[in-house]
Amino acid sequence: MTTFEWIIALLLGAVALAALARQIKVPYPTFLAIGGALLAFVPLSPSWTLEPRLALALFVAPVLLDAAYDTSLRDLRNNWIPVTTLVVAAVGVTTAVVAVLVHWLVPDMPWAAAVALGAIVAPPDAAAATAILRQVRLPYRMLKILEGESLLNDASALLIYRVAIGAVLAQHLSWSEFAPSIALALGGSLAFGYLAARLWMQMTRLVSDVPSAIILQFAGTFTVWIVAEHVALSGILTIVAYAFTISRVAPARTPARVRVPSYAVWETAVFILNVLAFILIGMQLRPIWIRLDDTVRWNYSVTAAWVLVAVILVRIAWVMLYGATLRTLVARHLFRPKNPRAIPTLRGGLAVSWCGMRGIVTLAAAFALPENFPHRDLILLAAFAVVLGSLVIQGLTLRPLILALHLKDDDPVGTEVARARAAAYRAALDEIDGDRSEEAEILRLEYRALLRAEGDGGIASGELPADPLRRRALGAARRCILRLREEEEIGDDAFHQLEEEFDRAELSAETG
């Protein structure tokens, strides 16, 4: 088969696996991981390669921007304590435990290389977990904690990863040398991401052609990451700051006819990048596996299995310890959270601790190791084993576990959407209040009907005929939900749900 034929076959296979995953309600990366592992042993399969230093930029930058764009700063701030413990402490403890374990199993592995492996497998990919959690309606706060963790733990893990690689290349590890670079990476990355977003939005604000606008979105993401890495900043933190800034500015400036196809393209791109990551890693495993003798294969497999066990058990131990500690402090009146629901429960702790599936960041970080890195083959095999094992073991059992724990969601997003929708349509009515034309009367009747339907539990359809008056009213409705988000009366989940509804209405109006 030619390269083109292989690409078509692999993409079709990935689509089939994703459909099967949706059918049996498991994360689609689980089947992609299985497919990538099987690909390593398919006779005559292609051997594609990618320059290692491009892996993080290609696979992580757009995936991270897509996740950060939808993250609610309000919810992140409200849950900063559990998110911080998972992002900093859990990642640090996992890295340390894996490094000690691997150095014990493979004594000739340098400590810095062992730390690099620990940092590679430390950050869970909660995207796979949340795909399941949204199906079973996990409590909203728990879902936001997992999303916040998945967004920020990559930054903490890859900071350790970069320091470890630098120590290997420099043949020593000195805190006095890398501490200033870490401080610069933390502060400088956030500042650069904010400034880059502001500058990019100014440069592209007049672009109205849809294909051009989407291309510029991807070009901006890759450019910001590459520039950040070239000036020794953290690409992860830079992209997070860049995405947060754009998410606050872009909704008010971007018309629906650009935003709707952009969201579809980004969702497709994230899926394709996941597919490519598992395919490329699978292709790297085959030559590694072939050139190893049986004894080394066995030793590598045992090491990889122990690393998988370690990352699962460390997460369970940390989450349960955090929950028990917080419950003890509350019981002894040493700590009193503002929200009683912030007190972790045993069942909630079990659910969060089992959401430790690894994914594309782990694969990209392993792939990005320099070709001459010590024990690179072992690290690649161990990283893929952790991703495959966690996705299969935890991915296939997460949904039954959540259902068995009987965790309930009180649907705060639905409540916010209903309240914001009512406020938005009232703003739309106020916008056309002084217009006594026949069109305005018809529009007022329609919006009042929507408000009555909302009060009766109905859902506004947003499918409206085209006329300038209607677009003016929709503009007022948009300004209303933007204000509600700025004032944190609603979160980003409710905002994006209503934004989609108004986008449909705006596209319908522009059709005419």
Taking only the tens place, the pLDDT of each residue in 23-81 is 888 878 888 888 888 887 777 777 777 777 788 888 888 888 888 888 888 888 888 88
Q: What is the CA radius of gyration of the chain?
A: 25
| Both tokens assigned to 255 | 């018309």
> Which pLDDT belongs to residue 453?
67
Of 125, 76, 11, 196, nearest in space to 356 by CA: 125
The amino acid occupying position 17 is L
Q: Is the pLDDT of residue 134 over 70?
A: no
Domain with CATH 1.20.1530.20 in the chain: 3-405
Per residue in 200-230, pLDDT (tens digit) is 988 888 888 899 999 999 999 999 999 998 8
CATH 1.20.1530.20 fits 3-405, yes or no: yes
Average pLDDT value for residue range 390-399: 87
Please say whether the beta carbons of 154 and 387 come within 8 A: no
User: How many Cβ atoms sit within 10 Å of the Cβ of residue 226?
Assistant: 14
* d(C-alpha 440, C-alpha 374), whole Å: 72
Please say whether the beta carbons of 378 and 288 come within 8 A: no
Q: Is the pLDDT of residue 465 over 80?
A: no
DSSP structure class, residue 41: T
> Which pLDDT belongs to residue 121?
94
Average pLDDT value for residue range 506-510: 74
Of 352, 413, 424, 314, nearest in space to 142 by CA: 352
Please say whether the beta carbons of 82 and 322 come within 8 A: yes
**Composition of the chain by helix, strand, coil, percent to 5:** 80, 0, 20
Instruction: Look up tokens 């990355």; give the residue.
Output: 189
H-only helix segments in 171-255: 175-204, 210-230, 235-253
Please report how the helices 126-136 and 140-170 are oriented relative to each other, as an axis angle in degrees rounded to 10: 170
Question: Which of 69-73, 172-176, 258-262, 449-453 is modeled with the greatest confidence?
Answer: 258-262
Q: Is the pLDDT of residue 512 over 50?
A: no
* d(C-alpha 462, C-alpha 285), whole Å: 50
Per residue in 352-380, pLDDT (tens digit) is 899 888 888 888 889 888 888 899 999 99
Q: Between vectors from CA 82 to CA 419 and to CA 138, what angle results, nearest 5°?
A: 50
* d(C-alpha 473, C-alpha 479), whole Å: 10
Alpha-carbon distances, residue 355 vs 118, 129, 146, 306 (angstroms):
18, 6, 8, 19
Q: Between vectors from CA 102 to CA 99 and to CA 108, what angle results, nearest 5°?
A: 105
Measured in residues, the chain has a length of 512
Q: Give the dihedral sign, CA 321/324/327/332.
A: negative
**What stretch of H or E contains 163?**
helix 140-170
Per residue in 268-327, pLDDT (tens digit) is 998 898 888 888 877 878 788 888 888 888 999 999 999 999 999 999 999 999 989 888
> Which pLDDT belongs to residue 422?
86
**What stretch of H or E contains 12?**
helix 3-24
Q: Between vectors from CA 84 to CA 78 and to CA 87, what angle results, nearest 5°?
A: 130
> Which pLDDT belongs to residue 474?
84
Q: CB burial class (10 A; 0-12, 13-18, 19+) of residue 302?
A: exposed
Please say whether the beta carbons of 145 and 79 come within 8 A: yes
Average pLDDT value for residue range 114-131: 82
Better pLDDT: 460 or 61: 61
> Which pLDDT belongs to residue 461?
44
Per residue in 170-180, pLDDT (tens digit) is 665 554 555 55
Beta strands per DSSP E along 358-457 = none
DSSP structure class, residue 57: I
* d(C-alpha 292, C-alpha 378), whole Å: 11
DSSP structure class, residue 54: G
* d(C-alpha 101, C-alpha 89), whole Å: 18
Better pLDDT: 101 or 18: 101
Please say whether the beta carbons of 65 and 243 come within 8 A: yes
Please say whether the beta carbons of 491 and 75 come within 8 A: yes
> Which pLDDT belongs to residue 42?
78
> Which pLDDT belongs to residue 455?
62
Average pLDDT value for residue range 2-31: 86
Average pLDDT value for residue range 504-511: 73
* d(C-alpha 452, C-alpha 457), whole Å: 9
> Which pLDDT belongs to residue 407?
79
